[in-house]
Chains A and B, each alone.
Chain A
Amino acid sequence: QQPVQSPQAVILREGEDAVINCSSSKALYSVHWYRQKHGEAPVFLMILLKGGEQKGHEKISASFNEKKQQSSLYLTASQLSYSGTYFCGTPAAGSYQLTFGKGTKLSVIP
């Protein structure tokens, strides 16, 4: 089951904040976040393993709510380098495969 990401795209000015959401209709055991810059490979950002746990990467943090079956990625004081497509991935129970959402395209402009 593919997780659903929202919004599909967002445009920010440098210094602004953004939130990207990832939700699933099935129980989530963990949520993985990746960023893919244009023309490049996806790069790992973080894994969230426990309900309510927040992790951080630079000025990017995330939360994971098991009960609501959703995760949110918070980008604070965005920089031009944050531009790219953000994917959340979720593994199904007993499975080793990561199913990714369709991605959220983030564009940061000066």
Chain B
Amino acid sequence: DSGVTQTPKHLITATGQRVTLRCSPRSGDLSVYWYQQSLDQGLQFLIQYYNGEERAKGNILERFSAQQFPDLHSELNLSSLELGDSALYFCASSPDGGGHTGELFFGEGSRLTVL
């Protein structure tokens, strides 16, 4: 158990809908990262928040947004869902801003299926 909690574990929805994925980082960790994992693309970095502020942005679609709240939990909002958004979404946390020396602690992931 990494200490990172993600909910829901599984989610099935229809195209065009909107969903929210939630992540609680390890106690004391200030950074939260979101990754998307699909079969052919591996782990794709989406976005990072550090102590409530956006720190780095990766291949995140405009239909997706995220935020980190004062209690440090984070939410990833996915809207106007398409079939191609079906994937496993991982949240990870680290104590600091990350970069070269930080170990990432991954949650168990939220599996999103868009029908």
- A95 contacts B by Cβ under 8 Å: yes
Inter-chain contact B101/A30, CB cutoff 8 Å: yes
Instruction: Tally the A-B contacts, defined by beta carbons under 8 Å.
Output: 67
- Tell me the residues in window 68-89 of chain A with beta carbons closer than 8 Å to chain B beta carbons: 87, 89
- A109 contacts B by Cβ under 8 Å: no
Inter-chain contact B105/A44, CB cutoff 8 Å: yes
Inter-chain contact A47/B101, CB cutoff 8 Å: yes
Instruction: Give the contacting residue for A96; candidates B2, B35, B55; CB below 8 A.
Output: B55
Taken together as a complex, chains A and B put the C-alpha atoms of A34 and B40 apart, in Å, by 18
Residues of A within 8 A of B112 (CB): none
Inter-chain contact B104/A44, CB cutoff 8 Å: yes
Min CB gap A24→B, angstroms: 14
Q: A41-B107, A41-B108, A41-B109 are in contact. Are A98 and B41 (CB under 8 A)?
A: no
- Tell me the residues in window 16-62 of chain B with beta carbons closer than 8 Å to chain A beta carbons: 31, 33, 35, 40-45, 48, 50, 55-56, 58
Taken together as a complex, chains A and B put the C-alpha atoms of A8 and B11 apart, in Å, by 30
Residues of B within 8 A of A34 (CB): 104
- B63 contacts A by Cβ under 8 Å: no
Interface segment out of the listed A13-21, A51-59, A100-108: A100-108
Inter-chain contact B2/A97, CB cutoff 8 Å: no
Q: A41-B2, A102-B41 are in contact. Are A97 and B56 (CB under 8 A)?
A: yes
Inter-chain contact A91/B2, CB cutoff 8 Å: no
Taken together as a complex, chains A and B put the C-alpha atoms of A106 and B40 apart, in Å, by 16
- Tell me the residues in window 56-115 of chain B with beta carbons closer than 8 Å to chain A beta carbons: 56, 58, 90, 97-101, 103-109
Instruction: Give the contacting residue for B100; candidates A91, A99, A101, A102; CB below 8 A.
Output: A91
Inter-chain contact A96/B105, CB cutoff 8 Å: no
Taken together as a complex, chains A and B put the C-alpha atoms of A99 and B98 apart, in Å, by 12
Residue numbers of A with Cβ under 8 A of B are 2, 29-30, 32, 34, 40-44, 47, 49, 87, 89, 91, 95-103
Residue numbers of B with Cβ under 8 A of A are 2, 31, 33, 35, 40-45, 48, 50, 55-56, 58, 90, 97-101, 103-109
A to B CB contacts below 8 Å, 10 in the list = A30-B100, A30-B101, A41-B107, A42-B43, A47-B103, A49-B101, A91-B99, A97-B45, A98-B33, A102-B42
